[in-house]
Chains A and B, each alone.
Chain A
Amino acid sequence: MSLLRAEEVSKRFSGLSALDAVSLTVAPGEIVGLIGPNGAGKTTLFNCLYGVLAPDGGRITFDGRDLAGLAVHRRARLGIGRTFQRIELFAGMTVRDHLLVAERARRGDGALWKDLCNRSRPTSDERARADATLGLLGLDDVADRPVESLSLGRGRLVELGRALMIEPRLLLLDEPSSGLDHRETDEMADVLDVVRRERGTAILLVEHDVAMVRRVTSRLYVLDFGQLIADGPTAEVVADARVRQAYLGDTV
C-alpha cells in the first residue's frame, strides 16, 4: 500500500510540456530520491504534489485520498510536510518559536477568543514536543536564538524541525543539501536517517548531491525532459547507462 501515488501527472507551460505522464509512488517509511538534469521538471512535479501548481492531467492521491483542488495548508494538515530549496524561515522568530507555531497550527487550535482570554500561551505539552524535536535535530543550544543568526546548515535543520512538528507522514524535501558544506551535508544525511527510523516518516527528496542520494535513499526516480527515464533501487539506477549519460556524466 503506497502512501503517495502520482498517476500519469502532466503539466504544460504555454505549450511546452514540463511533465509528461509521470507516475511515482512512495510507501510509508521509505526514503525515495528524485533526480534529473536541470530543467527536467523536478520542481514542477514537486509543486504539483504540493499544491502550488495544479496538474493538467493525471491524479495524485495521498493515503488513498484524491488531492485535486486541495489548498497547500489543507495538504499540510493531512500530513504532508515540506522544506524549501531557498530557505523560507520566519524572520524575527526564534528557533523554538518556529516549532511552537507549527505545533499550534497542527492542533488547529487558534481561535481568536482564546487569545483574548490569554489562553494561547504554549502548553507544557507543546513545549515538551518542541523540545523533543529540538533534541532530535541537535538544535537545543540555539533554541532561543533568532533564526537570522544561524548558519545555512542550521537554518535548514530548523526548516526540517518545523516540518516535523506537524507530524507529517510524508516529507517533501527540495534539495536539502543545497548550499551546505561536506560536514553539514553529512549531518543532514544523518538526521534524515534518524527521522525515518524514529518517526517512520516517508521522505521524497530532490537532490543533486549524488553521494547523499546514494547514502539515504532506497529507491530513485530519474526525470529527463519531463519524462521518467529510470526508476528502481538506488544502486541499480545509478549504474544505469542512460542515467549516467543524461545526468551523471563521468563524475561517478
Chain B
Amino acid sequence: MTDLVSYAIRGVPIGCVFALMAVGVVLTYKTSGVFNLAFGAQAFVSAAVYYETRVRHDWPIWLAFLVAVVALGPAIGYVLDRALFRHLRTAPPIARLVTSLGLLVAIPQMVQIWFGNSPAYNPLGIAPDPGRIFRWGEYALDANQVATILVTLLVVAALTVLFRFSALGLRMRAVVESPRMSELTAINADRVGSSAWMMSSFLAGLSGVLLAPLFAQVEANAFFTLLVAAVAAAAFGGLSSIPLTFAGGLALGVLQQVLAGYLPSDSVVSQGLRPALPFLVLFLLLLFWPPLRGIGRAADPLAGVDPPPPAPAATVRSSGMTTMTRVLAVATVAGFVLAALFWFDAFWLLLFTKGLIFGVIFLSITVLTGMGGQVSLSQAAFAGVGAFATGQLVENFGLPVLPTMFLGALVAAVVGAVLAIPALRLDGLYLTLATLAFALMWENVLVPQTWVSSGPLGVDVPRPLVGPVDFTDDRAFLLLCLVVLALVGLLVLLVKRGTTGRYLDALRGSELAAASIGVDRTRARITTFALSAGIAGLGGGLLASQVGRATPTDYVFFLGLFWVVMVVTLGDRSVQAAITAGMSFLLVPELLSRIDLGFLPEILNPADNPAAIASILFGLGALTYAKHPEGILELQTRRSIERVNTWGAALARRRSATVDASDGPDPAVANGPGGPR
C-alpha cells in the first residue's frame, strides 16, 4: 500500500505537467478553434529563453521568468494571431491544422538557430530553493515539483472560473463558433481572438519552463513527445472541459508511474507498455470516449460572406494549352532523365533517384489528403511498414526483392485498412490525432521489436535482380524508380478520375448527401486508406532498396509530418505537385548547402546549416496554405494561365483592330476566366 502511494505521489507532478499542457491545448482549441500541434514548440521557445537567461547568463529567477514567460509567451501569441490565425478564423479546420503543423516544423529550427545546437544540460526550475525537499512522513517531493503542482492548480482554477463565470470566456466561445455573428453581436472578434491567443501562449511558455527540469536537457523533441500525453488528457476532457482535462492528465501521470513501479523494469510488457501508454490511451479514448462523440464543429451560418474559392487551373485552361503543358512536362521529365543517365555523377544520380522515390511516397498523401480530404500523420509509419516487411520477407523466406516490394506494399495496405476500420468512426481532427497516436506507437513500440526491425541497425533490403538486369547499377535502378513512379502516378490519376474519385469528391462535398444516393462511406474510406498506405509502403520498400537496408531512423514519424506539410503546401490535388514535392524535399537542402554566404554567422549560413534552413522554409511555406489551399503549384499554374490568357486577349484585340473583324476570338480567350482583374 505504501508502495502504491509513493509511486502515485511520484506521478503527481508529472501528471500535473501533462495536465498543464493539456489545459493549454484545450484552451487554444476552445478559444481559437485551432488544435495547436505547435503548442509543444511554443513551450520549447520559452524553455530555451529561460535556460539562456537563467543558466547561461545567470539572471535572477523573477527576471528570467518575466522575460521568458510573462512577456515572451503572450508576445508570441499576439504575433501568431495577428500574422496567421486571425486570417484563419473562418478557414476550414484542415487549413488551421496544416498551419499549426507548419509552425511545428519551423519554430524549433528557428529557435535552434538562435539558441545554438550545443546541448543545454540541467535546466533550472522556478523554485527559489530547488534543493529543498518537502516531506510528509515517508513521502517526499522536491521544491520544483511542489511549484509545478501549485502552479497547475492555480491555472486550472483560474481557467475554470474564466469559462464558467466570465463574460470574456463566453465571448471567446462565441467567436470560435462564428466570428462574423459575434461581430453582429457587438463583440470585437479580433480583440477577443488576440486575447485568447495571448493567454494560451502564456500557458505554453509557462508549461515549457515548468517542464524543463523534468528532462535532463532542453530539447525540442522531448516537448513534442510530451504533447501526445497532453493530447490524451485533452481528449479525456472532450476537448472542452478544463477540470476533466486536468483529471485526465493527473491520472495518466500517476498511472504511468504506478505501472513503472509495479512492473519489473526489464520485462517485455513493461518495455513495451510504458512508452506506449499515452498513445494507447489516446487511441482508445478517441475510439470509445463518449464526450468526443458528435462534437462535429458547428458550421458558421455566415460562411457565405466569404468569397468563393478560385476555379481550379484546369477549368480556365484551353485544350490547346493543356496539350502544350503536357508536352512540356513530358519533355522536362525526359530531359532530366537523360541528363541523369548520361551526365550526372553518382552523387546527383542517387539524389535524383531518391527524389523520384519520394515522389511515390508523396502520392500516397495526394490520395488520402487531396482526394479523401483527411490528414494523416502516419505516412512515414506506412512507408516503414513497407520497408521492414520487404526486408523481413526477403531475409526470412528468401523471396526475390522486386515482387517482395509489392508484397510489402500489400502488407502496408492491410495495416492501413486495419487502422481505417476504427478510424472510420472519427472525423477530421480526431482522425488525424488517431494517426498520430498510431505513428508514435509504431515508432516507440513496434519498431524496437526485433521481429520488425532486426534491431537498431535495421534489416537488409538488397537491390533487385531481375533476370539479366542487375539493379545494383544506379542507372538501372533510376529507370526502375521512374517506371514505378509513372505507374503509381497513372494509378492515382485513374482512381481520381474513376468512380472511387467521384465518390470521394461527393463525400468531401457532403457526407449526408453522398449517403442519400447510396454511396457507402465505410467502403470508400477503407479503400482510400489502404490505397494510400500501400503506395507509401511501396515507396518505403524502394527507399530501403536504394540504400541497401531499412533502418528505423529512415522512417521516424516526424518525417511524416514534414511530408504532409510539403505536399499540401505545393498542392495536394495533383500528381505533378506530389512529384515536385518529392524532388524539392531532397534538392532544396542540397542546393541550400551550395549557397555559401560566408558573411553570415555559421548558424545562418545555408551552406553550414542546410537542413535547418530548409525545414524553416518548408514550415513557413505551409503558412501559405491558408490563403491558397489549392497549393503553390496550382496557384502558379493558374496565374500563368491567366497571364497567357490576358496576352492572348490583348493580342486578339490588336489583331481585330488592325485586321479583319471576322477573325474569331482566340480559343484561350473564349475559355478565359473573364478577363484580368
Contact = CB atoms under 8 A, between A and B. Distances in A.
B515 interface: yes
A90 B373 CA distance: 13
B264 interface: no
Q: Which of A102, A111, A162 has its CB near the most chain B CB atoms (within 10 A)? A: A102
Given A76-B515, A105-B518, A89 B498 contact: no
Contacts of A90: 505-506, 508-510, 513-514
A73 B515 contact: yes
B521 interface: yes
Given A101-B502, A120-B499, A89 B519 contact: no
Interface string B383-411: 00000000000000000000000000000
Contact of B517 (A91, A114, A121, A163): A163
Q: Which of A76, A101, A146 has its CB near the most chain B CB atoms (within 10 A)? A: A101
B329 interface: no
A84 B509 contact: no
Given A76-B516, A81-B516, A105 B503 contact: yes
Contacts of B502: 97, 100-101, 104
A178 to B, nearest CB: 15
A88 interface: yes
B424 interface: no
A88 B513 contact: yes
A93 B509 contact: yes
B521 A73 contact: yes
Given A89-B509, A102-B517, A115 B503 contact: no
Interface in B490-528: 491, 494-495, 497-503, 505-506, 508-510, 512-521, 527
Contact of A84 (B308, B499, B513, B517): B513
A118 B495 CA distance: 9
Contact of A88 (B308, B512, B518, B527): B512
Contacts of B509: 88-93
B517 A165 contact: yes
A196 interface: no
A120 B503 CA distance: 12
B491 to A, nearest CB: 6
Given A88-B510, A116-B494, A148-B308, A166 B517 contact: yes
Contacts, number: 106
A116 B513 contact: no
Interface of B is mostly: helix
A163 B518 CA distance: 10
A106 interface: yes
Contacts of B494: 115-116, 118
Given A102-B517, A166-B518, A84 B512 contact: yes
Interface in A72-110: 72-74, 76-77, 81-82, 84, 88-93, 97, 100-102, 104-106, 108-110
Contact of B516 (A72, A93, A100): A72
A89 B527 contact: no
Contacts of B513: 84, 88-90, 159, 162
Interface residues of A, number: 41
B505 A112 contact: no
A73 B519 contact: yes
B512 A115 contact: no
Contacts of A104: 499, 502
A109 B498 CA distance: 11
Given A90-B505, A90-B506, A115 B500 contact: yes
Interface in A39-54: 52
Interface string A151-176: 00000000100110110000000000
Contacts of B312: 92
B498 A120 contact: yes
Q: Which of B500, B512, B513, B518 has its CB near the most chain A CB atoms (within 10 A)? A: B518
Contacts of A76: 515-518
A103 to B, nearest CB: 9
Contacts of B518: 73-74, 76-77, 102, 105-106, 108, 166
A234 B338 CA distance: 78
Given A73-B520, A105-B518, A162-B517, A115 B495 contact: yes
B413 to A, nearest CB: 12
A231 to B, nearest CB: 26
Contacts of A121: 497
A31 B515 CA distance: 24
A108 B113 CA distance: 56
Contacts of B495: 112, 115-116
Contacts of B500: 110, 112, 115
A100 B497 CA distance: 13
B489 to A, nearest CB: 13
Q: Which of B494, B495, B498, B505 has its CB near the most chain A CB atoms (within 10 A)? A: B498
A90 to B, nearest CB: 3
Interface string A7-27: 000000000000000000000
Contacts of A146: 311, 315
Given A91-B509, A92-B509, A116-B491, A101 B517 contact: yes
B481 to A, nearest CB: 21
Contacts of A163: 516-517
B503 A110 contact: yes
Nearest to A98: B506
A216 B468 CA distance: 76
Given A110-B500, A115-B495, A120-B498, A101 B506 contact: yes
A115 B499 contact: yes
A52 to B, nearest CB: 8
Contacts of A82: 516
Nearest to B523: A110
A210 to B, nearest CB: 26
B517 A106 contact: yes
Contacts of A92: 312, 505, 509
Q: Which of A102, A111, A115, A148 has its CB near the most chain B CB atoms (within 10 A)? A: A115
A77 B515 CA distance: 10
Contacts of B498: 112, 114-116, 118, 120
Interface string B134-164: 0000000000000000000000000000000
Given A88-B510, A116-B494, A166-B518, A110 B505 contact: no
A142 to B, nearest CB: 15
Given A118-B494, A162-B517, A112 B527 contact: yes
Contacts of B505: 90, 92-93, 101
Nearest to A99: B517
Contacts of A110: 499-500, 503
Nearest to B531: A112
Interface in A127-147: 146
B332 to A, nearest CB: 25
Contacts of A108: 518
B414 to A, nearest CB: 15
A111 B494 CA distance: 12
Q: Which of A73, A118, A165 has its CB near the most chain B CB atoms (within 10 A)? A: A73
A52 B513 CA distance: 12
Nearest to B312: A92
Interface string A194-236: 0000000000000000000000000000000000000000000
B247 to A, nearest CB: 24
Contact of B499 (A74, A93, A114): A114
Nearest to A120: B498
9 contacts: A73-B518, A89-B509, A101-B502, A105-B518, A110-B500, A112-B500, A114-B498, A115-B494, A120-B499
Given A91-B509, A101-B519, A121-B497, 8 more contacts: A77-B518, A84-B512, A89-B513, A101-B503, A115-B497, A120-B498, A120-B499, A148-B308
What 9 A-B pairs have minimum CB-CB distances, sorted nearest first?
Answer: A115-B498, A90-B509, A76-B518, A120-B498, A88-B513, A110-B499, A72-B515, A102-B517, A88-B510
